[in-house]
Copies of this chain bind each other. A is one copy, B any other.
Amino acid sequence: MIRNVRSYGHFCMTARALERVGDRWSLLVIRDLLSGPKRFTDLVARLGGITPKTLTQRLRELDEADLVTADRQPGRREVWYRLTPAGADLGPVIDALNQWGLQHAWRLPQPGEPLHAEHLLRTAVAAIDRAADDHEPAAWHLILDGGDYLVRSDGHRWMLTAEEPSMPADVTVTGTAAALRALIFGQSDRDLAIAGDAEPLQRFQALIGTMATLVPMAELPASRTTVE
């Protein structure tokens, strides 16, 4: 298998970093592994639009670059991909891109746009972390489209992981990504079950909509027609 040895040939650590994660899809694979190990098909579901061929190639490259490892247990069909410590250290890069996107590439979810629960939550968490003053500890357990997510604050930063909580959560939400989107953007929440004590629940309701208040670009003046 031919390796991607395209080098910029610069003595520059930014270029060196981009030689490893600058290919299309690479940083998005890292992004989706930052919340925990995933299987091939988990990644395909999140990376809507990636072809299996490309995902295979990226995972191989990231493996060779020692950013990702593949757990293959004998007698088990599934392969679990997870980040190495070096891969996990790309968290600040993803965070920086995420914050920049929030500032300069924000746009309401479009009607036909595929929406994965994990991406919606990631954006919500980034918006809360940036725009809200409330960083008191909290733990929310969300079960969306059958997947477990844990949103929590350690008192300083809000974080997202894709896992079942090891401790009881303050708030538990069950439903679909579409229902959560509706809740966030101020529409019906009939299809969402939200459980918890009154105070944490009220706090959840107050914070979860933070991203809907971000309207930096001209928003709602019809849609922007992309022409070539």
A interface, CB within 8 angstroms of B: 2-3, 5, 8-20, 22, 24, 27-28, 31, 47-49, 86, 89-90, 92-107, 109, 113-116, 119-120, 122-123, 126, 226, 228
Contacts and interface: CB of A to CB of B under 8 A. Distances in A.
Nearest to A114: B9
A114 B15 CA distance: 13
A89 B113 contact: no
B123 A103 contact: no
A93 to B, nearest CB: 4
A74 B126 CA distance: 44
B107 A16 contact: yes
Contacts of A28: 8, 10, 12, 14-15, 18
A96 B98 contact: no
13 contacts: A5-B228, A8-B28, A9-B48, A9-B113, A10-B47, A11-B115, A13-B97, A13-B98, A15-B101, A16-B101, A16-B107, A86-B103, A93-B93
Contacts of A24: 22
Given A27-B18, A96-B92, A8 B49 contact: yes
Contact of A49 (B5, B9, B17, B101): B9
B228 A105 contact: no
A87 B8 CA distance: 22
Nearest to A105: B16
Contacts of A18: 27-28, 97
Contacts of A104: 17, 86, 89
A96 B100 CA distance: 13
Contacts of A31: 12, 14
Given A22-B27, A27-B18, A102 B8 contact: no
Nearest to A181: B11
A59 B96 CA distance: 22
Contacts of A9: 48-49, 113-114
